[in-house]
Copies of this chain bind each other. A is one copy, B any other.
Amino acid sequence: MPAMTMIQAINSAMDVMLGRDPDVLVFGEDVGYFGGVFRCTAGLQKKYGHTRVFDTPIAEGGIVGAAVGMGAYGLRPVVEIQFADYIYPAMDQLTSEAARLRYRSGGEFTAPITVRTPCGGGIYGGQTHSQSPEALFTHVCGLKTVMPSNPYDAKGLLIAAIEDDDPVIFFEPKRLYNGPFDGHHDRPVKPWAGHPMGEVPEGYYRIPLGQAAVLRPGAAVTVLCYGTMVHVALAAVAESGIDAEVIDLRTLVPLDLDTIEASVRKTGRCVIVHEATRTGGFGAELSAQVQETCFSHLEAPIERITGWDTPYPLAHEWQYFPGPARVAEALKRVMEF
């Protein structure tokens, strides 16, 4: 199987779907001729023509609004928001429209759209190129929210998202685009080549939305994470030597509660890790649900290791980023409780 970076895997997912389904269109700022500022759509316009893959005006709300209209017609538009930090102008079309069409029309009209957007920090992007706003969407009923942690999942999940008949917000942790980043920013960068999850089939395959993956079975404590934090958690577990069970949620809504519940009932301990700001982050929902479903099994408080409740500062991004050290300390705390 060919080794792909996350960028190549995402590109391949769109390539496959453009090839299989004439109703799939791809558009967004700079995605056409140029192929996207992160190159995720490179070559697609040349291959499928400029009425299927094209540039748009700089208007995130317009991009999503047009996609909702296309979805209502029966197409499956895949749009790119250049950075998750710039998704806010599209908030109304996502929350009031994409998420509501099916419900308010009694199923007459739907919005089978996919909104791809790079998220997360660690690239010296400062406060407007580093955000992880997933919790603003997981609170909106009618939206599905996905965040892959590796090329293999990214392709399989993106294909599933495009084929899904409901709107999906697909977050791409940009720090993982080229390699499995474990949070040790001071160490040499690793490429996806050679990583098992960097092995990606050329063709069509899907990973169903709503299924978490147990990446490391363990008995001592459950670690719930997604996106970049999956690699940070794995590093922290390896370094702390604690026999943790690491679960990559992959899809946040709908949530794979069964897998989470089974794990925490077994381990009796839970640490939640995300890069987004803490207050009202998705970790709060995870903590609440684990507590509600596993109360009697809990032997220690559920901990959340997250970004701080501040914007993502450029000069201090490594103090902001919840790295392996902070996660390892949390693991120790819950084990020693």
Contact = CB atoms under 8 A, between A and B. Distances in A.
A277 interface: yes
Given A91-B92, A287-B291, A138 B280 contact: yes
B88 A141 contact: no
B288 A292 contact: no
Contacts of A138: 279-280
A285 B277 CA distance: 12
A100 B291 CA distance: 33
A144 to B, nearest CB: 12
A269 to B, nearest CB: 12
Given A136-B136, A287-B287, A292-B304, A277 B141 contact: yes
Given A92-B91, A288-B287, A309 B141 contact: yes
Nearest to A93: B88
**Closest CB pairs A-B (n = 3):** A139-B280, A88-B92, A287-B288
Given A103-B127, A287-B287, A287-B292, 12 more contacts: A88-B96, A89-B92, A91-B91, A103-B311, A141-B277, A141-B279, A141-B311, A253-B279, A288-B288, A288-B291, A292-B301, A295-B301
